[in-house]
Structure 1
Amino acid sequence: MVMKECPNCGEEVMGREGKKFCSAYCKSNFHYQRNKEKESSLFKKIDKQLKLNRRILKNYNRAGKATVKSSDLFQHGFDPKYFTHYWKNSNKQVYLFCYEFGFLLQRDAKGIEKFILVQHQSYMN
């Protein structure tokens, strides 16, 4: 008879051959913890990027409205694919928001990409 150790708690596993866990609780807890780590890594990545985007937008938009070259935001790690919600103005332009800070990508007359930065206002609801 081979003695096995429970991968969750380290206790001795007793019972049938091939049994891996000492109890149903340990089996459930082991798989819960393993899946929780897998899931949370995606959520942590998204949350980290959203917070970074917000911090960058806040830094560049101290007056409530600003225009910034896209390269300036990108060099700090800004990623426009991560946003919390959007707002469409009367001209059908869609501003993407990262919490209370919004941005709209546009090209100027010379073809340079710039972001128009705004801060959420009550009329944007």
Structure 2
Amino acid sequence: MRTCPVCEAPVKGRIDKKFCSVKCKSIHQYELRQEKEAFFLEVDRQLKVNRKILKTFNYQGFTTVQKSALISEGFDPNFFTHYWKNTQGDVYLFVYDYGFLDLKKSGKAKYLIVQWQEYMKKR
């Protein structure tokens, strides 16, 4: 007797039938998708976490925060969507509409957090 690869229940019906139910077939398809898109889902998840953290800390539109505070919340500076370079040559890394700049103030590692502005669009 054939068994379902998902729940190991007996499979009844046509000879080429692989799953015992539509539910098990759907579970199998979902698991395949998760395996194929694991990297994409991991990156997307971290980008969402980063944006949420930047938004939470940037309640004024322009804030300086210690790096350790952001990192302890789960922020990972290696995940960003784009960058913007100002006229002084500073490179702001953005996670969608919130950006951060690596700073050294008073010997402490900090980030300057900003929100995307219209003038930052490329010309």
Q: TM-score range by the shorter chain?
A: 0.7 to 0.9
Pairs aligned (count): 112
CA-atom RMSD in angstroms: 2.8
Q: Structure 2: 5+ residue runs without aligned partners?
A: 19-25
**Is the 8 Å Cα contact of residues 5 and 13 (structure 1) preserved in structure 2?**
no
Q: Which has the larger radius of gyration?
A: 1
TM-score (norm 2): 0.74
SS in 2 for 1:55: helix
**d(CA) in 1 for partners of 2:113 and 2:73?**
16
Deviation at 1:47, TM superposition (A): 1.4
Q: Is residue 61 of structure 2 the alignment partner of residue 78 of structure 1?
A: no
Segments of 4+ moved more than 3 angstroms: 3-8, 10-14, 31-35
Q: What's 1:57 paired with?
A: 54
Map of 2:111 onto structure 1: 115
Map residues 88-103 of structure 1 onto 2, 5 A cutoff. Answer: 88-103=85-100
User: Structure 2: how far apart are the matches of 1:97 and 1:6?
Assistant: 47
TM-score normalised by length of structure 1:
0.73
Percent of aligned positions that are identical: 41
Distance 1:117 1:37, change over 3 A: same
In the alignment, structure 1 segments of 5+ residues that lack a partner are 15-20, 24-28
* Deviation at residue 82 of structure 1 after TM alignment: 0.6
